[in-house]
Structure 1
Amino acid sequence: MPYATLQQLTDRFGEQMLLNLTDRAVPPAGEIDPVVVTRALADTDAAIDGYLAGRYALPLAQVPPRVVDLALTIAVYKLHPFEPDPKITRDYEQAMKALLAISRGEERLPLEGAEPAATGNSGVVTNDRARPFTEDNLKGFI
């Protein structure tokens, strides 16, 4: 299940912006290229899955609005063939920081019936071997 759709991108960013970003035909076809959008959305889904996989069982049964928001932000950044404007770059960087926080467990997703995966015991493990030099075997040298 994709985290975002073409319709959601259109609703959020407008048809004209998507047309400018995706119509790469020469001469321009004058319509949004669904192949370009699908590729950007697939790349976005893969990136999000990489961050969520350590904490949540994938695929998610329901997609929380927070994940949809992150997916839309990342997808529009990926749709830019050249340097995006500073706001889109800043939003993308914030979205990636949010995904990192989710993957670390600093931010939790509100998913019913899906608890984050346990991270296991991260304590230090040590081995204590017998001491080769003790007071008893060094008698006479000390």
Structure 2
Amino acid sequence: MAYATVQQFVESVSEAEAVALVRAAPPETGYDAGRIGQALDDASDELDTYFASRYSTPLTPAPATATQAAIALAREALDRQGRDQVKAAASRWRAWARDVAKGVAVLGGGVVGEDVPAQTTSSGVQHAGPSRIFDDAGLSSYLGRGR
């Protein structure tokens, strides 16, 4: 399952660039939606290799961050000129995907499919362990309260 549609790709990069990247075969005009769709599928599959270490893939619905990453990776795959800004954008998204796999970054910060900041607790340190052995009730005779 692709994390972005052909329409989202075209809206992101512009129709003129989509045509420049994958011109349709004559006598057709415009861009080759099939090749863009295949590039988006391949990019989504690549992202899934990172996401699968922490999430059940494919992500449904796709968070906006996964959509943007898939578009950048597909654009790099289709760019025959190897432009630096296109390669740099794809590299940034791959680094983000690696961080997601490591647990350093999140998919939009919330539940999979949401693109909202994560809720954090304000208490800081949390402890989970056995109950206290020495408490006020157990130490009352030692502390001189039980007399």
The equivalent of 2:21 in structure 1 is 21
The structural deviation recorded for 1:33 is: 0.7
The equivalent of 2:49 in structure 1 is 50
The structural deviation recorded for 1:69 is: 1.1
AA partner of residue 98 (structure 1): W
When the two structures are superposed, what TM-score results if normalisation uses the length of structure 2? 0.69
The structural deviation recorded for 1:59 is: 2.2
The 5-angstrom pairing of residues 1-142 of structure 1 reads 1-23=1-23, 25=25, 29-80=28-79, 82-109=80-107, 110-112=109-111
Runs of 4+, deviation exceeding 2 Å: 27-30, 110-114
Percent identical pairs in the alignment equals 25
Count of residue correspondences: 112
- Structure 2: stretches of 5+ with no match in the other structure: 114-147
The structural deviation recorded for 1:32 is: 0.9
Distance 1:113 1:28 in 2: 43
- Given that residues 64 and 111 in structure 1 are in contact (C-alpha distance below 8 angstroms), is that contact kept between their aligned partners in structure 2? no
CA RMSD of aligned residues (A): 1.9
The structural deviation recorded for 1:106 is: 0.7
Distance 1:111 1:37 in 2: 29
Distance 2:64 2:112 in 1: 17
Deviations 1:121-141 (A, max 9, x none): xxxxxxxxxxxxxxxxxxxxx
The structural deviation recorded for 1:66 is: 1.1
When the two structures are superposed, what TM-score results if normalisation uses the length of structure 1? 0.71
- Given that residues 62 and 111 in structure 1 are in contact (C-alpha distance below 8 angstroms), is that contact kept between their aligned partners in structure 2? no
AA partner of residue 65 (structure 2): R
SS in 1 for 2:4: coil
The structural deviation recorded for 1:39 is: 1.3
The structural deviation recorded for 1:83 is: 3.1
